[in-house]
A and B are shown apart, each in its own frame.
Chain A
Amino acid sequence: MTHEHHDHDHHHDNELDPFAARVKALETILTEKGLIDPAAIDTIVETYETKVGPRNGARVVAKAWADPEFAEWLERDATAAIASLGYMGRQGEHMQAVFNTEDTHNLIVCTLCSCYPWTVLGVPPVWYKAPPYRSQAVINPRGVLAEFGLILPEETRIRVWDSTAELRYMVVPMRPVETDGLSEEELAKLVTRDAMIGTGLPLRPGSLGPGALWPADDTGAAS
């Protein structure tokens, strides 16, 4: 079936992968029983491949940088402020935006599973769901950040938010210097996914190359 094929060469994806067969068996049984609509599966996948991803969150951050009233709303009621840009729903029902300052850097984790703000960041990256990050982020965040190439001054306070309930967090990084006069659209290009998890900082103007931020197949995402 064509939907079993994909765009990325990867060692996990071949006909010998036992989980490929296992998932196909499950989908087959459920389809034969009329319990799932394969077209619905296609649409779910397409949604998270092309519509719901970190571009959404980047627009939220860029607007907060450009518009103090929006930033205030985002801080007070992130769910509503984010919904005003059209981003709402599954795994973003209860949002809180946490703002980096000169003194404090925020970092998001879910030590117990993989809670993540899907409406603004899409599906979580593999490392976010895996034991190394989940185990270390709460006890040795500076070591974790160093793996991402992010070395913070010793005196910078680190605040780790463990998403143990149904609140979903996103980090609003500080606006980079030398960005006066940039449009929201230009600002959004500086906001990486990792900057909104807290494992990175925004890009600086001038560091952008073509395709630097988004996979090629994500550039058509609708706003």
Chain B
Amino acid sequence: MNGPHDLGGQMGFGPVAPETDEPVFHAGWEKRALGVTLATGAFGAWTIDESRHARECLPPAIYYSASYYEIWIRALETLLERHGFVSADELQAGHKLWPGVTPKRVLHESDVAAVLARGAPCNRELDASPRFRPGDRVHTINEHPEGHTRLPRYARDKIGTIEAVRDGFVFPDTNAHGKGEDPQHVYTVCFESRELWGQGADPALTVSIDAWESYLEPA
């Protein structure tokens, strides 16, 4: 979707303002927000793609005024409600009111180290050969789906060059919506700066994205 998250090339947000000696967390609640987000992710009830889409569906005015942990928590409330684990009246009350759905897994303390060390690889074996090879010129599609996609707006309808052919990876555009993993090859695609940003662009800049095969056509 053309949501507030798709930030590449936008202007007017002000300085980056790096923080000297930045702490890992800025508040106690951020620690809990991280932990709760990871622990509920371990239910296996939603995918990382669905959770990303829940974040980017936040209204732009909220998305741009929220810290990143706020974005996570707002989206997490949506996911927990959507999947029946928590209800709106419970969020209001701050306590359990109903039994709710039982998840496939609950993350116990003794399993944390192993679960974090395992991660969740999302590469998949593919029978199909890659459609493109390194050096091929490709044209990114010009589509504006209402659902989740990982092709940023600044890189749509652009000509680029395949730099690397990656594994097959779960396709976020379907997986975010419960429509299956539909794994496809991913390619690292390089764009010259003027293709993306016009004649005023820094001539010594190259930008790459990682693009699923269905984002690409031969140029």
**Interface membership of chain B positions 146-160, coded 1 if the CB is closer than 8 angstroms to chain A and 0 otherwise:** 000011101100000
Chain A residues within 8 Å of chain B by Cβ, number: 90
Q: Determine if A45 is an interface residue (Cβ-Cβ < 8 Å).
A: yes
Q: Is B120 a contact partner of A26 (Cβ separation < 8 A)?
A: no
Partner of A32, one of B26, B35, B96, B119: B96
Shortest Cβ distance from B117 into A: residue: A89
Give residues of chain A (136-174) contacting chain B, Cβ–Cβ below 8 Å: 136, 138-142, 144, 147-148, 154-167
Q: Is B39 a contact partner of A161 (Cβ separation < 8 A)?
A: no
Interface size class of B (residues with CB under 8 A): 35 or more
* Residues of chain B with a CB closer than 8 A to A44's CB: 34-35, 38-39, 112, 116
Min C-beta distance of B166 to chain A, whole Å: 7
* Residues of chain A with a CB closer than 8 A to B43's CB: 35
Partner of B204, one of A139, A154, A161, A162: A154
A-B pair number, CB within 8 angstroms: 296
Q: Is B24 a contact partner of A33 (Cβ separation < 8 A)?
A: no
Q: Is A25 a contact partner of B34 (Cβ separation < 8 A)?
A: no
Q: Determine if B141 is an interface residue (Cβ-Cβ < 8 Å).
A: no
Q: Determine if A20 is an interface residue (Cβ-Cβ < 8 Å).
A: yes
**Interface membership of chain A positions 102-137, coded 1 if the CB is closer than 8 angstroms to chain B and 0 otherwise:** 000000000111100000001101110111111110
Query: Which of A111, A129, A218 gathers the greatest number of chain B CB atoms within 10 Å?
Result: A111
Q: Is B205 a contact partner of A158 (Cβ separation < 8 A)?
A: yes
* Residues of chain B with a CB closer than 8 A to A47's CB: 112-113, 116
Q: Determine if B121 is an interface residue (Cβ-Cβ < 8 Å).
A: yes
Q: Is A19 a contact partner of B70 (Cβ separation < 8 A)?
A: yes
Q: Is A45 a contact partner of B6 (Cβ separation < 8 A)?
A: no
**Interface membership of chain B positions 14-41, coded 1 if the CB is closer than 8 angstroms to chain A and 0 otherwise:** 1111110111111111111111101110
Q: Is B55 a contact partner of A139 (Cβ separation < 8 A)?
A: no
Q: Determine if B139 is an interface residue (Cβ-Cβ < 8 Å).
A: no
